[in-house]
Amino acid sequence: MKTLSIVSTKGGVGKTTLAVHIAVAAQKAKQKTLVIDLDPQGSAAQWAKDRVRLAEQHGRWFDTPLDVRRLFANDLVEEIAAAKRQGYQLVIIDTPPHADFPAARAVEVADLVLMPVRPGYFDLHAAKATINLVHDMRAHAFFVVNQTPHTSPGMAADAASYLASKDITPAPVSITMLQPYVRALRDGLTAPEIAPEGRSAEEINALWSWLAQALINAPQKKVVEAAPEPAPAMLDDPFARLRRPIIEGAA
Which residues in this chain contact ligand ADP in the complex, by CB under 6 A? 8, 11-17, 43, 97, 146-147, 175, 177-178, 181-182
The residue whose Cβ lies closest to Mg ion is 16
Q: Closest CB to ligand ADP among 32 and 183?
A: 183
Least spacing, CB of residue 31 vs Mg ion, in Å: 22
- What are residue 144's DSSP bridge partners? 116
Considering only 8-16, 167-175, 211-219, 229-237, which stretch makes contact with Mg ion by CB under 5 A?
8-16
Which residues, other chains included, contact 92 with Cβ-Cβ below 8 Å and sequence gap of 6+? Answer: 3, 4, 5, 6, 19, 22, 23, 26, 33, 34, 35, 36
Cβ of residue 67: shortest distance to Mg ion, in angstroms? 18
If contact means CB under 5 to 8 A according to the sort of partner, which of Mg ion, ligand ADP, none does residue 124 touch? none
Q: Near Mg ion by CB under 5 A, which window of 36-44, 128-136, 164-172, 199-207?
A: 36-44
Strand (E) or helix (H) holding 237:
none
- Of 38 and 145, the one with the shorter C-beta distance to Mg ion is 38
**Cα distance between residue 130 and residue 192, in whole Å:** 29
Among 3, 5, 9, 16, binds Mg ion (CB under 5 A): 16
* Beta carbons within 8 Å of 50's beta carbon, 6+ residues apart: 188
Distances from the Cα of 222 to the Cαs of 10, 146, 219, 246, 250, in angstroms?
28, 31, 9, 9, 10
Q: Judged by CB, which is closer to Mg ion: 16, or 146? A: 16
Residues numbered 42-71 forming contacts with Mg ion, rule: CB under 5 A: 43
Q: Position 84: which residue type?
A: K
Q: Closer to Mg ion at the Cβ: 91 or 247?
A: 91
Nearer to ligand ADP among residue 33 and residue 190 (C-beta): 190
CA dist., res. 204 & res. 230, Å (int): 42
21 near Mg ion, rule: CB under 5 A: no
| Residue 5 binding target from ligand ADP, Mg ion, none, CB below 5 to 8 Å by type | none
Q: Where are the beta strands (DSSP E) in 133-211?
A: 141-145, 169-170
Contacts 24+ apart (CB under 8 A), 76-81: 76/36, 76/38, 76/105, 76/106, 76/109, 77/109, 77/246, 77/247, 79/36, 80/1, 80/3, 80/36, 80/109, 80/247, 81/247
147 binds Mg ion (CB under 5 A): no
Nearer to ligand ADP, 33 or 200 (CB): 200
- Applying CB under 5 A, which residues contact Mg ion? 15-16, 43
